[in-house]
Amino acid sequence: MPSANATSQTNPARFSDRLSIGTKRVIWAWTFLTLPILFYAGIRFYPTFQAFWLSLTNWDLLRPAQFIGLANYQKMFADPIFWKVFNNTFLYLIIGTPVSLVTSFVIAFYLDRVRFMHSFIRALYFLPFLTTAAAMGWVWRWFYQPVPIGVINGFLSTIGIAQQPFLRSVDQALISVLVPAIWAGLGFQVIIFMAGLRAIPGTFYEAARIDGLGEWAILRKITIPLLKPTTVFLVVFSSIGFLRIFDQVYNMTTNDPGGPLNSTKPLVLMIYQTAFSSYQMGYAAAQTVVLFTILLVVSLLQLYVLREKK
Amino acid sequence: MTAITTTELAANRRDIRPGRIIVWSLLFIGGLIMITPLLYMFSTSLKTSAQVYDLRLVPAAPTLDNYIKVLGDGRFMQWFFNSTFIALTVTASNVFFDSLVGYTLAKFQFRGRYFIFLAILSTLMIPTEMLVIPWYLMSSQLGWLNSYWGIMFPGMMTAFGTFLMKQFFEGVPNDFLEAARVDGLNEFTIWWKIAMPMVVPAISALAIFTFLGNWTAFFWPLIVTTSKELYTLPVGISSFSAESSIQWELIMTGAAIGTIPTLLVFLLLQRYIVRGVMLAGLKG
């Protein structure tokens, strides 16, 4: 008994003594990584492959999934609603990204030079970024109401402009949803642009002034080229954000999500409805694969285009 | 030559002054427009239902009745608690695991290190929307639907956080860690007691981002919760529409309560938040 006790005490000590410091550190490293590896394998990688697999099945929660080949994709590409949604998604992107980037750059460019109440004004622009779309969806819906209630229509009527239908109109609804989405993200982009502007060494500007360059030339020849890493980051970040738009749309069109007549419906909302309103899980998985492909192509394309322009 | 430049500069300065005042005013007005929705939300939350149609920004007779009514409804407090608990737990988990993994990838030499790093980084390319259907399947099989764990599990670690922390740990000098090793500290203690305190700005950026992201999260909580007791605040606020007639002053109060915590966090930590956004934007 005492001897067994002694060996059990000395054995681990001897065992660890025999390991070199390097080996011990490798063991520590893998110990630290055990849980994270399980997490990423089980909650990121496995579900990714499962999504691809489900997109080839007719799984609907009731019956077990059956392999049906590319039928989901055929159905999707033949569906006019899918193409409407596809179109909407790209409208959010091609209006949202340039408008928000140009606006935030102009604000950042001038705000960077303002000293008086700098952080107060910066806070005004940043605060909307901290809100949740569920809450702000209500505020904006209220703003868009017709006259006795709606703030915007109330303002328009006092300056003599006709009432606008906003969210009730097939033509205006998408823009009406996009404005709050741009509004909410603007402050973040302003801060990132300002960080980028600060990172440009002051000596570049001094040299340019000594060479007699005007403000406009300095902007074109120095600020914008040197700001490129920041711009690339923001273009990609905001494009992905607009392609994945959901919260604002869902919360501003709750009674008929994506309405009127699918005029505001983006891809993610279609995925949500296919999966969790009609429970066509296989079909919804095929739509997520399309979303994945679009995001991949758009980010690679933008990185490529912006890198070439050096 | 120098005389000319100084006079030119002086002239420039005089030219720019009125320009600066205009720029400042335009920026200020733009800023006011940015917070107009928030101002109206707070103003309406202080009005009675009879005053809602009066669109003046300052309520004639401000009252906190709406807040008493909304908070008096137990469900709202429950949602508030759910959101707070979930956001804090997920933040703690991210601060712990993302830092641990980032540190391991930055400071340990072992075969497979680069592969693990690339594998984690590659998950950034996978949109959440693609994973929710498998997550939903997994949750329903394991009984995670309608539970705190079900809402939290997908976000317990993030590739973004890991990447951010790895970048910062790479800047920690090895000498400090070696000294601690010579002193006989074990690797976990070295990470927790020596390395972590040296990257506090990064940790606070990560914590702020994770908290904000989870406090305002909508898509996954909407999918995984069906019972009202487990709604997070955004899902709960969104569900108001299902109720009968729209009482704008109560809805604005709910929206205000959902917004106040993040605004308070911002007012208290403005400097850190802005610095954090800048850090994350530049490094990430």
pLDDT, tens digit (0-9, with 9 covering 90-100), for B27-46? 999 999 999 999 999 998 99
pTM greater than the 0.90 cutoff: no
Res A22: pLDDT: 79
Res A208: pLDDT: 87
CA distances from A189 to A194, A281, B34, B87, B209 (A): 8, 36, 14, 24, 15
- Dump pLDDT digits (tens) for A165-181: 888 888 899 999 999 99
Contact flag B134-A54 (C-beta cutoff 8 Å): yes
Res B91: pLDDT: 96
Residue A15, pLDDT above cutoff 60: yes
Res A29: pLDDT: 92
CB neighbourhood size of A67 (10 A): 10
Contact flag B258-A254 (C-beta cutoff 8 Å): no
Superfamily of segment(s) A80-305: MetI-like (1.10.3720.10)
- Dump pLDDT digits (tens) for A218-269: 888 889 988 988 888 899 889 999 999 999 999 998 888 887 889 999 999 9
CB within 8 Å of B189: residues ≥ 6 apart: B180
Res A222: pLDDT: 87
Res B2: pLDDT: 43
Residue B23 C-alpha, separation from nearest chain A C-alpha, in angstroms: 7
- Dump pLDDT digits (tens) for B158-205: 999 999 999 999 999 999 898 998 888 899 999 999 999 999 988 988
Res A200: pLDDT: 87
Residues in chain B with CB shorter than 8 Å from the CB of A285 are 133
- Dump pLDDT digits (tens) for A177-199: 999 999 999 999 999 999 889 88
Query: A141, A301, A31, A162: which is closest to B240 by C-alpha?
Result: A141
Task: For chain A, say whether B114 makes contact (Cβ under 8 Å).
Answer: no
**A contact test, residue of B1, B114, B115, B129 with most A CBs within 10 A:** B129
Res B59: pLDDT: 81
**Helix axis angle, B248-283 to B200-215, nearest 10°:** 150
Give chain A's mean pLDDT: 88
Task: For chain A, say whether B133 makes contact (Cβ under 8 Å).
Answer: yes
Residue identified by tokens 């273009």 is: A235
Can you tell me whether residue A67 is helix, strand or coil? strand
- Dump pLDDT digits (tens) for B49-80: 878 777 777 887 888 888 998 888 888 899 99
Res B25: pLDDT: 92
**B contact test, residue of A110, A112, A127 with most B CBs within 10 A:** A127
CA distances from B29 to A100, A115, A304 (A): 18, 16, 38
- Dump pLDDT digits (tens) for A19-76: 777 788 889 999 999 999 999 999 999 999 999 999 999 988 888 888 998 999 999 9
Res B245: pLDDT: 63
Q: Pick from B27, B41, B153: which is nearest to A111 by CB?
A: B27
Q: Are B146 and B267 in contact (CB under 8 A)?
A: no
Residue B154 C-alpha, separation from nearest chain A C-alpha, in angstroms: 7
Task: For chain A, say whether B57 makes contact (Cβ under 8 Å).
Answer: no
Residues of B (20-39) whose Cβ lies below 8 Å from A: 20, 23-24, 26-28, 30-32, 34-35, 37-38
- Dump pLDDT digits (tens) for B253-269: 999 998 998 888 888 88
- Dump pLDDT digits (tens) for B131-169: 999 999 999 999 999 999 999 999 999 999 999 999 999
Domain edges within chain A: 80-305
Res A78: pLDDT: 94
Res B34: pLDDT: 95
Residues in chain A with CB shorter than 8 Å from the CB of B28 are 117, 121, 124
**A contact test, residue of B36, B70, B100, B132 with most A CBs within 10 A:** B132
Give the residue, B81 or B11, on which the prediction is more confident: B81
Res B14: pLDDT: 46
Res A20: pLDDT: 79
Give chain B's mean pLDDT: 86
